[in-house]
Amino acid sequence: MPKILIIEDDTAFSQMLSRFLTKHRFEVTAVVTLKDAISQIQTTFFEIVLSDVRLPEGDGVSLLSTIKKQSPQTQIIMMTGYAEVKTAVKAMKKGAFDYISKPFTPESILQIINEALKNVSNKGKDIKNSAKGKNRATGEDFVLGESESSQKLQHYLQLVAPTQMSVLLTGESGTGKEVTARAIHNASSRKTKKFIAVDCGAVPKEIASSEFFGHIKGSFTGAVEDKIGHFEAANGGTLFLDEIGNLSYENQVQLLRALQERRIKRVGSTQEVHVDVRIISATNEDLRKAVAEGRFREDLYHRLNEFSIAIPALRERENDLLQFAEAFLQDANAEIGRQVDKISEETKMVLLNYAWPGNLRELKNSIKRAVLFSEGTSLEVEALPEHIKTNIEKDTKAKYFSKSSYEKERILEALKQTNFNKSKAAELLQITRKTLYNKINLYQLDV
């Protein structure tokens, strides 16, 4: 459901416009002041902003650059009761999608919004293509998901991908940090260059200099030929440093120097080589704590952390779990050569009620194993790993015994998560608001 922010000081007009757009299946937020608008834009991604030109505390056009800087993909439509050509031209030059004069018909504003949404889709195609594309390094699909956590993640990717900022990805093991890093690379201006991934935890500190910066023949025992390091290999592209917290202090110093000077020397060489790389790093530990304990250099931490993204755990993306499972099902079919085309309702219940401590990696491996053990075209509970089946509590099994009780509990859970906002609950459940109301009546829910 596309999100629209209305910035309008005429509350009666704003309410009328909000009701009209809500009926046409838009999620609408209305504010009166520029301050409130900026606050909303900083915390929520809006596909469309409808702003009045004249506001009590300033010119609505002045907000354009702020919105575009914060959210380049957002499309802005200016509204005014004053049909000033100069203002319209000024707004368009600053990045407005279009301009409409009051009074306008409902059909005309709806037409402009729909055209603007097409522009949102086109501007976002790089990030969406990278999200749907196969990860060459891991074989995983980067599925964005529809939950609030996933939408926030997508918004951050859209913000940072076009820049040259260093990005620090944090999150538990298995949450898909490398896949996220590759999505950032694929949506950046460096996408035609190499993406080099390095597991810092797997690099012995004794040979780390050679791995990162290369060496020349004869520089040490075993150096039988010249070798370029990861920095040179990634020149012009992106260097992904996974588990950056595992680097030794000495290697941290060398890395910091390379990042500051953008020049490296191969081991055994006196010649400096200029390198142009974007650094994306990742960790599953608290680097701030490591800095406080003296295990990680503070200056390196700030160099790596120009922009930080916390990758949510799978338990925080419950409403996306089945979407991920379906994507991994298709991957497994292609890899193993099976045709398991659906996940049974009972299996879905089990998947939804397991904690997934290994996050997406565990889900992917579990689905692949289940496809291998499946005998028919439906993925059944029997094919799941034993620890997932036995981990379900008896009262949970009883609670979700029937499809109707399962559906009832899912509706209640969605309502609780959205503070009983039925529009948002319907969005979480991926059903229409009308369908949600029908089901509330069917199950006689007191909400």
The pair of three-digit structure tokens given for residue 429, joined into one six-digit string: 């459940």
Q: pLDDT band for 299, please (50, 70, 90 cuts).
A: very high
**Mean pLDDT comparison of 219-223, 325-329, 397-401, highest-scoring range:** 325-329
How far is it, in rounded angstroms, from Cα 38 to Cα 58? Answer: 13
Instruction: State residue 134's pLDDT score.
Output: 42
Q: What is the mean pLDDT of residues 401-406?
A: 54
Residue 268: per-residue pLDDT: 84
Query: pLDDT tens digit string along 47-65?
Result: 999 988 877 776 677 778 7
Give 261-319 as a 3 state SS string. Answer: HCEEECECCCCEEECCCEEEEEECCCHHHHHHCCCCCHHHHHHHCCEEEECCCHHHHHH
172, containing H or E segment: none
Per mean pLDDT, which range of 1-5, 129-133, 249-253, 430-434 is the poorest? 129-133
Q: What confidence tier does 104 reach under pLDDT thresholds 50, 70, 90?
A: confident
The pLDDT of residue 132 is above 50: no
**Tokens describing residue 55:** 């506001």
- The confidence score (pLDDT) of residue 270 equals 83
Give the integer Cα–Cα distance in Å for 238 and 195: 5
Whether the model pTM is above 0.95: no
Q: Tell whether the model's pLDDT for residue 311 goes beyond 80.
A: yes
Is 441 or 221 the better-scoring residue by pLDDT? 441
| pLDDT for residue 44 | 81
Contacts of 390 (CB under 8 A, 6+ apart): none
Q: How far is residue 40's CA from residue 32's CA, in Å, rounded to a whole number?
A: 12
Mean pLDDT, the chain, integer: 83
Q: Is the predicted pLDDT of residue 428 greater than 90, yes or no?
A: no
Which pLDDT belongs to residue 82? Answer: 54
Q: How confident is the model at residue 143 (pLDDT cuts 50, 70, 90)?
A: low
Share of the chain above pLDDT 70, in %: 88
Most confident option among 64-78, 87-101, 162-176, 312-326:
162-176
Count how many Cα atoms sit within 13 Å of the Cα of residue 285 in the half-sphere of its side chain: 17
Mean local confidence (pLDDT), 282-289: 92
Cα distance between residue 259 and residue 85, in whole Å: 49
- Per-residue confidence (pLDDT) for residue 277, from 0 to 100: 95
pLDDT surpassing 90 at residue 236: yes
Give the lowest-confidence range in 82-96, 272-286, 298-312, 340-354.
82-96
DSSP run (H or E) holding 442: helix 433-442
Q: Is the pLDDT of residue 141 over 50?
A: no
pLDDT at 125: 47
Which position has the higher pLDDT, 275 or 414?
275
Tokens coding 152: 């926030």
Q: How many residues does the chain have?
A: 447
Residue 215: band (very low, low, confident or very high) from pLDDT cuts 50, 70, 90? confident
> Residue 185: its pLDDT value, please?
94
pLDDT at 127 over 60: no
pLDDT digits (tens, 9 = 90+) for 158-186: 889 999 999 999 999 999 999 999 999 99
Ordered structural domains, the chain, with CATH: 3-123 (3.40.50.2300), 129-310 (3.40.50.300), 315-442 (1.10.8.60)
Q: What is the pLDDT confidence band of residue 432, given thresholds at 50, 70 and 90?
A: confident
